[in-house]
Amino acid sequence: MAIMVALLLVGIFLFLRYQKRSKRRLNKLLGLITVRNSHDLKVLKEDEEKYRSIVCLMNEGIILTDANHRIVFVNKCACKQLKKSEKELCGKKLSDFAVGKAEAARLDELLDKNRGGTVAREEFLMCRAHEEPYWASLSFTFPGHLKDIHNGAVIVMVDVSGHIMLEQKMRKLTTNVVQKVKQLDCVFEMQQMLGQPNQSIDNILRKSLKIIPKGLRHDYEMRVEIVYNGKEYRSPGFHKSKWHYSIPLKAERQVSGYMTVSYIGSHPPLHCQPFRIGEKVLLKSIAEKIMMAIAIIEEKTGHQA
């Protein structure tokens, strides 16, 4: 009996001793884990601050929006492009800074169609402070896999005003060159027609109706009327619209008739001049050439047609 009691006491002693050692080991392990977690948390916080600094200092504007498309974050570059502070931008929609209702609606529509993981890129006419317009290239990313962290869009904004203006300038120059070529071709065709032998005045004026529109911008929507010595020549479908231009036909400083070109379509817009200076100069030159050819024919025949 004494032996059993002794063994029981020894067992209890050993159990208590093992528990005490286990507790010390557990406390030590918990301490190590706490220190490591604290270190990891510190590193994560430092990394977050670094990434935030990088984002803030990027040359591209970075904008984050929430699920309702309202701005929740903007970096310094985005603030600089829009010429507004972060406080002025946060809480507002990016469409609030678009130029015109149509542009704003197009921007909102693009954001409304967002789907997880989709990417889109378009150019919008935006407005800085003091209503200064500029062109911005907006790249939209909708990171669906980050919905637990961010449920809106990530937008990269780049000022492309310089590129757009250069493109518009090049397009205008190209259009001007094409128009000059059309005018030269028209003058050349007119010269060839007027230079043909044994032509009557009637033939010259009828052929001119087809050649003259070729030198004008909207040649398919242009019709011509020539009136000479009371006789009228008209392109099919001619009518004198509000967009027309007339030139007198003079022979020896006396007006013998007139030449009228008129739009029959919807061009140009009401706020634009229907005929450019180059077109007016072309029409005046053609009228003079026609009258010179008529004068030669009348001199040969000895009478006016």
Q: Which of 131, 159, 187 is the last residue of a domain?
A: 159
CB count, 10 Å around CB of 65?
23
pLDDT on residue 48: 47
Amino acid at 56: C
Sequence-distant (6+) residues with CB within 8 A of 114 are 140, 142, 153
How many domains does the structure of the chain reveal?
A: 2
Cis peptide before 213 (omega within 30 of 0): no
Q: Is the pLDDT of residue 181 over 80?
A: yes
Question: Whose structure tokens read 């931008």?
Answer: 89
Top-confidence residue, 168 or 65: 65
Per-residue pLDDT, averaged over 176-199, amounts to: 88
Is the Cβ–Cβ distance between 63 and 157 less than 8 Å? Answer: yes
Helix 161-194 / helix 277-301 crossing angle, nearest 10 deg:
0
Q: Is the pLDDT of residue 293 over 80?
A: yes
What are the backbone dihedrals phi and psi of residue 116, each rounded to the nearest 5 degrees, phi first?
A: -55, 130
Query: Does 124 share its domain with 69?
Result: yes
- Per-residue pLDDT reduced to its tens digit, 13-68: 555 565 666 666 666 666 655 656 565 555 555 544 554 544 444 567 888 888 88
Q: Give percent of the chain above pLDDT 90.
A: 20
β-partners of residue 222 are 263
β-partners of residue 247 are 259
pLDDT on residue 214: 92
Query: Does 235 share its domain with 179?
Result: yes
- Per-residue pLDDT reduced to its tens digit, 129-139: 777 888 888 88
Q: Which of 125, 159, 193 is the last residue of a domain?
A: 159
What are the backbone dihedrals phi and psi of residue 115, each rounded to the nearest 5 degrees, phi first?
A: -135, 150
Q: How far is CA 201 from CA 45, 227, 259, in A?
A: 91, 12, 15
Task: List the one residue out of 265, 275, 283 whose CA is nearest residue 221.
Answer: 265
Confidence of residue 150 (pLDDT cuts 50, 70, 90): low
Residue 32 within a domain: no
pLDDT on residue 129: 77
Query: Does 176 share its domain with 147?
Result: no
Domain hosting 78: range is 56-159
Query: Does 195 share its domain with 241?
Result: yes
Query: Does 70 share its domain with 152?
Result: yes
Query: Does 181 share its domain with 133?
Result: no
pLDDT on residue 54: 45
pTM of the model: 0.54
Q: For 141-144, which contacts have Cβ atoms below 8 Å and span 24 or more sequence positions?
A: 142/114, 142/115, 142/116, 142/117, 142/118, 143/116, 143/117, 144/115, 144/116, 144/117
CATH number, domain at 101? Answer: 3.30.450.20
Question: Whose structure tokens read 């090049």?
Answer: 170
